[in-house]
Copies of this chain bind each other. A is one copy, B any other.
């Protein structure tokens, strides 16, 4: 590579997309354990003190069985009830992104965050294609093959299909909740 080209590339920040989701643990506030783990790992091990060299792009994909986990308690009697639900889901997604954007602000690293709806693994790969980050970081619960059959793994799909390098950060064993399928 010519030196001028190398300098130009160095001048542009490394853009790291981080897939984030909410905790599945009822009453547990905000980001999932593995999302937070993946984010903090990225800060500590990759970004380090070089905050101007990186930009973080947070993507949250909203999916019915994740964001509507307590729908069992709701009664729908009018079209407005559905709108209210939608607003609540949206508020939750915003709350999640706010957590990560605030952390970036504290650390002094530039970032962007947005929400999409759909199947997380498909949407993440689609957004990678659209946004073309240098790197995708996703957290993983680090489940065994038996557990994976039932819950699927977004990280495995992305590692295979995303059109950029992918790092999967497994949740630390000492951070796993009582039921390892929770996160």
Cα-based distance from A44 to B8 in the complex (angstroms): 11
A7 to B: closest C-beta gap in Å: 11
Q: Is A50 an interface residue (CB 8 A)?
A: yes
Closest to A38 in B: B165
A134 to B: closest C-beta gap in Å: 5
Q: How many copies of the shown chain assemble into the complex?
A: 2
Judged by DSSP, the binding face of A is: mixed
Stretch from A60-68, A87-95, A166-174 forming part of the interface with B: A166-174
A1-55 with Cβ < 8 A to chain B: 1, 6, 9-10, 14, 40-41, 44-46, 48-50, 53
Q: Is A135 an interface residue (CB 8 A)?
A: yes
Asked if B44 and A46 sit within 8 Å, CB to CB, the answer is no
Q: CB-CB contacts of A79-93 with B at 8 A, as 1s and 0s?
A: 000000000000000
Residue positions of A touching B, CB distance < 8 A: 1, 6, 9-10, 14, 40-41, 44-46, 48-50, 53, 134-135, 159, 165-170
